[in-house]
Amino acid sequence: MSRVYYDRGLMIEVDDFKFLFDPRVNADFQSANMVLVSHGHSDHVSGLLEASENIRVGASTITHEITRLVREKRERKSLENTVYLDRKFGIKTEEYSIEAYDAGHCMGSLQFKIDTGEHLIGYTGDINFRESMTEGKAEVMDCDILMIEATFGSEEYIFPEREELNTEILDYVEKIVSDGIPVVLMGYSLGKCQELTRLISRGLDYNILVSKQIFEFNRIFERYKYMLGRYFEIDSEKGKEIIEEGKMVILLPQSNLGKNAPERLAKTFNLPRPPKVAICSGWAVNRSFFFSMQQAYNIDTVFPLSSHADFNQLLEYISNVEPTKVYTTFGNPVSLAKQIKRQLKINAQPVVNKLQQTLDVYTLDQEPQIT
C-alpha cells in the first residue's frame, strides 16, 4: 500500500489506484477510482448528497435509499452509477476485490475489506459490538491493515450494558408520562431513533410521535427489515389528536435543541405542558456532557446509549483481528493509536490531513486536524 491520508474523505492509494471512503462535500471524486460509503450519517455521506449523478459509488441498498431520499429533497437527480454492496456481497475486478461486512451501527451500515492481492485492507466506518434493539453486532474482518474509527477511542469512554440502559430509559419514560408530562427523547434520526421507536413501542403502552425525517427513516427500516411498532408523525392529524390527549413520548433529532428547550418545544408542537427532555448519546458517559447540556438547553437528563463501540471494544476488535498495522480515524485517533501501541504492541498511527504533513514525519504527540 502506498499511502493513506484524509482529504475530505479517507483516501487509500494502492500503487496508482485510489479508493475514497466516506467522501465529504467537495471531495476529490475525480482522482478516485472507487468510492465507498459505509453508512448514511451526514459526516460519512455528505459528499454523495452533493456529488454529480454519474459518480460511481458502492454502498448498501439502504444507504443508497437514504441518499436517494435526501437528494430528492434537495432536488438533485438520483445517482446513476451505483454499486450495491450488501453484507457478504462484493465486487471483483482485475485490480482488487471488495467484500462488505455488517458494522452494527445503524441500518445499512457496512465495513469494507479490500483484497489487493498483496494486502487485505479493512475499513470499519462506524462500528458497534453491542447488539441493539434494531442491529446485530459488527462482524470481525480478517485483515492485515485495519482502518478503524476512533470516535470513543479514549479510555474514559466505557459504556454500560445495553439491557441496563434500556430498562433505565423505559422506567424514566413510564414515571414521567404516567404523571401526564410529555417526554422528548433526542438522538440521531438515523439509527438511534429506530432503536428508540422499537424500545418504547415494545416496552410501554404510550403513543409515540416522531419528526418527519425519523418517520421516513423508520419507513425505510420497515421496508427492508421488519416493523418497528406503532408510531405517528408529529405533524399529522393523528399526531395532533395525540398531543391533545396529553400522554406521549416524542422522538426528535438533537437539531431541535435550543435555549430553554422544554418551553420552546411546547410552543413549537403545541404541547399541553413543557416536556422533560432527555438526550441519548454515547458522550453522556462523561458527566460534564450532562452539565453543559443542562446549562445550555435546560434538559432533564441524559442516557449514554451509543451506536458506537466503546474504548474496550475497539481494542478487543483489534486484538481479535491481529493486523500488522492500524490506522485510526474520526474522533480520538491520537489517543486510540497510542493505546493500541501501548496495550496491544501493534503498530498504529492516526490518519492525518493530506495538507498537513506526510505520515513518515508524523509523530503521535501531535494532534492531527481531522476535518
Nearer to Zn ion, 40 or 262 (CB): 40
Minimum distance from residue 152 beta carbon to Zn ion (Å): 12
- 219 Cβ neighbours under 8 A, 6+ residues apart: none
Nearer to Zn ion, 106 or 337 (CB): 106
Check binding of 22 to Zn ion (CB under 5 A): no
> With CB under 5 A as the contact rule, which of the stretches 14-22, 38-46, 256-264, 309-317 interacts with Zn ion?
38-46
> With CB under 5 A as the contact rule, which of the stretches 74-82, 93-101, 126-134, 223-231 interacts with Zn ion?
126-134
Nearer to Zn ion, 152 or 290 (CB): 152
Q: What end-to-end distance do the CA atoms of the chain give, in Å? A: 23
3-state secondary structure of 293: helix
Burial 161-197 (b: 16+ CB within 10 A, else e): ebeebbeebeebbbebbeeebbbbbbbbbbbbbbbbb
Size of the site for Zn ion (CB under 5 A): 2
Minimum distance from residue 118 beta carbon to Zn ion (Å): 30
Minimum distance from residue 125 beta carbon to Zn ion (Å): 7
Asked if 340 contacts 348 with a C-beta cutoff of 8 angstroms, the reply is yes
Nearer to Zn ion, 126 or 135 (CB): 126
Strand intervals (E) in the chain = 3-6, 10-14, 17-21, 34-36, 56-59, 81-84, 90-92, 97-102, 110-115, 120-123, 145-150, 183-186, 207-210, 232-233, 248-252, 276-280, 301-303, 325-331, 347-350
Minimum distance from residue 103 beta carbon to Zn ion (Å): 9
Sign for the pseudo-dihedral over CA of 63, 69, 70, 71: positive
What is the amino acid identity at position 101? Answer: Y
Minimum distance from residue 46 beta carbon to Zn ion (Å): 12
Check binding of 126 to Zn ion (CB under 5 A): yes
Minimum distance from residue 109 beta carbon to Zn ion (Å): 7
Nearer to Zn ion, 193 or 209 (CB): 193
Nearer to Zn ion, 13 or 86 (CB): 86
Check binding of 102 to Zn ion (CB under 5 A): no
Binding to Zn ion in span 227-286, by CB under 5 A: none
- Residue with smallest beta-carbon separation from Zn ion: 41
**How far apart, in whole angstroms, are the C-alpha atoms of residue 208 and residue 230?**
7
Nearer to Zn ion, 49 or 91 (CB): 49
**What does the per-residue mask of binding to Zn ion show for 312-341, with x meaning CB under 5 A?**
------------------------------
**Using CB under 5 A, which of 20, 22, 23, 41 touches Zn ion?**
41
- 65 Cβ neighbours under 8 A, 6+ residues apart: 108, 220, 224
Tell me the helix, strand and coil percentages in the chain, rounded to 5: 35, 25, 45
**How far apart, in whole angstroms, are the C-alpha atoms of residue 138 and residue 117?**
25
By CB under 5 A, name the binding residues for Zn ion. 41, 126
